[in-house]
Amino acid sequence: MIVANREQTMKNRSPAILICIALLASFAVQADGGAPIAPREGAIGYVMTDLFWAVYQTPDAKQECPNGFNPGPREQFEVLFPDSEKRTVVDTQLKQEIETWHPTADPDSFPFYEAEGPLSYGLNLDGKTGPNDFTHPDGEQGIDNEVYRAVACIIGFRGPVGVEYIFQNKAIADRRYNRTMIELTGVDDLTNDDNVTVTLYRGLDRLLTDATGMKVMSGGSQRVDMRWGAKLIRQTRGKIVDSVLTTEPIAEVVIPWMNLNVPTFQIIRDMRLQLKLTPTGAEGLIAGYADVDTWYKQLIRNDSTHHLSNGQISGISLYKALRRLADAYPDPETGANTAISTALDVKLTQVFIVHPPGEAAVAELVAH
Amino acid sequence: MFATVMVVAAEPDRPDTPGSVEEYVSVPMPPGFRVEATELEGPVFADAGGRTLYTWPSHKLRNGYSGETQGNPACYDEVRTVTAGLMSPYPPGILLPELDSRPSCTDLWPPVLAADDAQEIGKWTVVDRKDGTRQWTFDEQPLYISVLDNEPGDVIGGTTRRYGGDSPANRVPVGPPSRIPPGFAVKTTTVGRLLTTDKNYSVYAYDQDTPDTSMCHADCARTWVPVTAPAMAQAQGEWSIIERSPGVRQWAFRQQPLYTNVLDPRSWSLEGSDVPGWSNVYTQRAPSIPANFTVQDTLVGQVLADSRGMTIYTYVCGDDSVDQLSCEHPNDTQVYRLAMCGGGDPGKCLKSWPYVLADIGTMSNSRAWSVINIDPKTGHHAAAEQADAFSVWAYRDRPVYTYGGDQQPGDVNGAGTGEWRAQRNGLKAFWLRDDYMGGTL
pLDDT at B20 over 90: no
Look at residue A147 and give its three-state secondary structure.
helix
Residues of chain A with Cβ-Cβ distance to B95 below 8 Å are 86-89
Q: How many CA atoms lie within 13 A of B435 on its CB side?
A: 26
Distance from CA of A242 to the nearest CA of B (A): 36
Residues B341, B422 within the same domain: yes
pLDDT at A367: 64
Q: Do A89 and B97 touch (CB under 8 A)?
A: yes
- Expressed in angstroms, the distance from the first to the final Cα of chain B is 28
Q: Indicate the residue among B121, B149, B177 that finishes a domain.
A: B177
Number of structural domains found in chain B? 3
Name the residue with higher pLDDT: A362 or B150.
B150
Residues B134, B157 within the same domain: yes
Partner residues linked to B236 by β-bridges: B239
Distance from CA of A357 to the nearest CA of B (A): 14
Number of structural domains found in chain A? 1
Residues B240, B383 within the same domain: no
Strand spans (E) along B74-166: 124-128, 134-138, 141-142
d(CA B290, CA B372) in angstroms, rounded, equals 14
Residues B244, B127 within the same domain: no
Residues of chain A with Cβ-Cβ distance to B299 below 8 Å are 177, 228-229, 231-232, 256, 263, 265
pLDDT at A27: 59
**Is residue B235 situated within a structural domain?**
yes
The total of other beta-carbon atoms located within 10 Å of residue B141's CB is 25
pLDDT at B361 over 50: yes
- Please enumerate in sequence order all residues whose Cβ is within 8 A of that of A359, keeping only pairs 6 or more positions apart, or say none: none
Q: How far is CA B49 from the centre of its chain?
A: 22
Residues B275, B320 within the same domain: no
Distance from CA of A137 to the nearest CA of B (A): 37
d(CA A257, CA A245) in angstroms, rounded, equals 23
The total of other beta-carbon atoms located within 10 Å of residue A150's CB is 29
Structural contact between residues A96 and A305, judged by C-beta atoms closer than 8 angstroms: yes
Does the beta carbon of A221 lie under 8 angstroms from any beta carbon of chain B? Answer: no
Residues of chain B with Cβ-Cβ distance to A206 below 8 Å are 265
pLDDT band of residue B438 (cuts 50, 70, 90) is confident
d(CA B198, CA B254) in angstroms, rounded, equals 19
d(CA B340, CA B333) in angstroms, rounded, equals 13
Name the residue range of residue B279's domain: 191-285
Q: What is the mean pLDDT of residues B350-358?
A: 98
Does the beta carbon of A263 lie under 8 angstroms from any beta carbon of chain B? Answer: yes
Q: How many CA atoms lie within 13 A of A6 on its CB side?
A: 12
Count of residues making up chain B: 441
**Is residue B86 situated within a structural domain?**
no
d(CA A18, CA A171) in angstroms, rounded, equals 28
Q: What is the mean pLDDT of residues B101-105?
A: 98
Residues B124, B244 within the same domain: no
**Is residue B91 situated within a structural domain?**
no
Give the residue from B429, B123, B162 showing the smallest Cα distance to B306: B429
Residues of chain B with Cβ-Cβ distance to A88 below 8 Å are 94-97
For residue A75, the chain B residue with the least C-alpha distance is B89
**Is residue B92 situated within a structural domain?**
no
Task: Give pLDDT tens digits along chain A (368 positions).
Answer: 233 333 333 334 444 444 444 554 555 544 444 555 689 899 999 999 999 999 999 999 999 999 999 999 999 999 999 988 899 999 999 999 999 999 999 999 999 999 999 999 999 999 999 999 999 999 999 999 999 999 999 999 999 999 999 999 999 999 999 999 999 999 999 999 999 999 999 999 999 999 999 999 999 999 999 999 999 999 999 999 999 999 999 999 999 999 888 999 999 999 999 999 999 999 999 999 999 999 999 999 999 999 999 999 999 999 999 999 999 999 999 999 999 999 999 999 999 999 988 765 555 665 65
**Beta-carbon contacts below 8 Å between A and B:** 121
pLDDT at A6: 31
How do beta strands A244-247 and B398-401 pair?
A: unpaired
Handedness of CA B135, B138, B144, B150 (dihedral sign): negative
Buried b (16+ CB within 10 A) or exposed e, A206-223: bbbeeeeeeebbbbbbbb
Q: What is the 3-state secondary structure (H, E, C) of B25-41?
A: ECCCCCCCCEEEEECCC
Strand spans (E) along B190-338: 192-197, 204-206, 224-226, 239-245, 248-253, 256-257, 259-261, 278-280, 282-285, 294-297, 301-305, 313-317
Greatest extent of chain A over all pairs of C-alpha atoms, in Å: 81
Buried b (16+ CB within 10 A) or exposed e, B348-377: ebbebbbbbebeeeeebebbbbbbbbbbbe
Distance from CA of A262 to the nearest CA of B (A): 6
How do beta strands A337-354 and B256-257 pair?
A: unpaired
pLDDT at A261: 85
**Is residue B430 situated within a structural domain?**
yes
Residues of chain A with Cβ-Cβ distance to B300 below 8 Å are 177, 228, 263
Using CB atoms, which residue from A93, A101, A260 is nearest to B90? A93
Does the beta carbon of A262 lie under 8 angstroms from any beta carbon of chain B? Answer: yes
Residues B268, B343 within the same domain: no
Give the residue from A19, A120, A139, A138 showing the smallest Cα distance to A325: A120
Greatest extent of chain B over all pairs of C-alpha atoms, in Å: 72
Q: Do B343 and A101 touch (CB under 8 A)?
A: yes
**Is residue B80 situated within a structural domain?**
no
Q: How far is CA A74 from CA A77, B132, B420, in A?
A: 5, 42, 15
Q: What is the mean pLDDT of residues B150-171?
A: 94
Name the residue with higher pLDDT: B20 or B377.
B377
d(CA B4, CA B25) in angstroms, rounded, equals 11
Residues B16, B70 within the same domain: yes
pLDDT at A38: 84
Count of residues making up chain A: 368
d(CA A273, CA A46) in angstroms, rounded, equals 13
Q: In terms of C-beta density within 10 A (0-12 exposed, 13-18 middle, 19 or more buried), how is residue B253 classed?
A: buried
Structural contact between residues A245 and A277, judged by C-beta atoms closer than 8 angstroms: yes
d(CA B101, CA B430) in angstroms, rounded, equals 31
Q: Do B91 and A83 touch (CB under 8 A)?
A: yes
Residues of chain B with Cβ-Cβ distance to A177 below 8 Å are 299-300, 436-437
pLDDT at B58 over 50: yes
Helix axes A73-80, A93-101, angle to 10 degrees: 130
- Measured in degrees and rounded to the nearest 5, phi and psi for residue A34 equal -75, -165
Residues B215, B332 within the same domain: no
pLDDT at B5: 28
Q: Do A263 and B87 touch (CB under 8 A)?
A: no
Give the ipTM of the model, two decimals please. 0.92
Handedness of CA A106, A107, A110, A113 (dihedral sign): positive
Using CB atoms, which residue from B90, B300, B419 is nearest to A263? B300
For residue A176, the chain B residue with the least C-alpha distance is B436
pLDDT at A362: 59
Q: How far is CA A238 from CA A20, A198, A221, A298, in A?
A: 28, 7, 24, 29
Using CB atoms, which residue from A73, A97, A206 is nearest to B339? A97
Residues B271, B300 within the same domain: no
Which site among B166, B407, B421 would you substitute to test the A interface, given the most A Cβ atoms closer than 10 Å to its Cβ?
Answer: B421
Handedness of CA B129, B132, B138, B144 (dihedral sign): negative
Structural contact between residues B203 and B184, judged by C-beta atoms closer than 8 angstroms: yes
Give A 50-89 residues with CB within 8 A of chain B.
73-74, 77, 83, 86-89
Q: Indicate the residue among B237, B265, B285 that finishes a domain.
A: B285
| Ramachandran bin of B203, using left for φ above 0, alpha for ψ from -120 to 50, beta for the remaining angles | beta
Structural contact between residues B178 and B208, judged by C-beta atoms closer than 8 angstroms: no
Give the residue from B19, B83, B9, B21 showing the smallest Cα distance to B45: B9
Q: How many CA atoms lie within 13 A of B116 on its CB side?
A: 1
d(CA B203, CA B209) in angstroms, rounded, equals 15
Q: Do A301 and B417 touch (CB under 8 A)?
A: yes
Residues B271, B402 within the same domain: no
Handedness of CA B407, B353, A91, B317 (dihedral sign): negative
Structural contact between residues B173 and B53, judged by C-beta atoms closer than 8 angstroms: yes
pLDDT at B17 over 90: no
- Measured in degrees and rounded to the nearest 5, phi and psi for residue B106 equal -75, -15
Angle subtended at Cα A252 by Cα A247 and Cα A257, rounded to the nearest 5 degrees:
95
Which site among A204, A228, A302, A310 would you substitute to test the B interface, given the most B Cβ atoms closer than 10 Å to its Cβ?
Answer: A228
Q: How many CA atoms lie within 13 A of A163 on its CB side?
A: 19
pLDDT at A14: 45
The secondary structure element, H or E, covering residue A346 is strand A337-354
Angle subtended at Cα A204 by Cα A201 and Cα A206, rounded to the nearest 5 degrees:
120
Partner residues linked to B226 by β-bridges: B259
DSSP state for residue B176 in the 8-state scheme: P
pTM here is: 0.93
Handedness of CA A268, A273, A278, A279 (dihedral sign): positive
Residues B137, B227 within the same domain: no
pLDDT band of residue B64 (cuts 50, 70, 90) is very high
The secondary structure element, H or E, covering residue A57 is none
| Ramachandran bin of A213, using left for φ above 0, alpha for ψ from -120 to 50, beta for the remaining angles | left
Using CB atoms, which residue from B319, B336, B415 is nearest to A262? B415
Structural contact between residues A267 and A249, judged by C-beta atoms closer than 8 angstroms: no
d(CA A271, CA A263) in angstroms, rounded, equals 21
Structural contact between residues A341 and A122, judged by C-beta atoms closer than 8 angstroms: yes
Name the residue range of residue A152's domain: 2-367
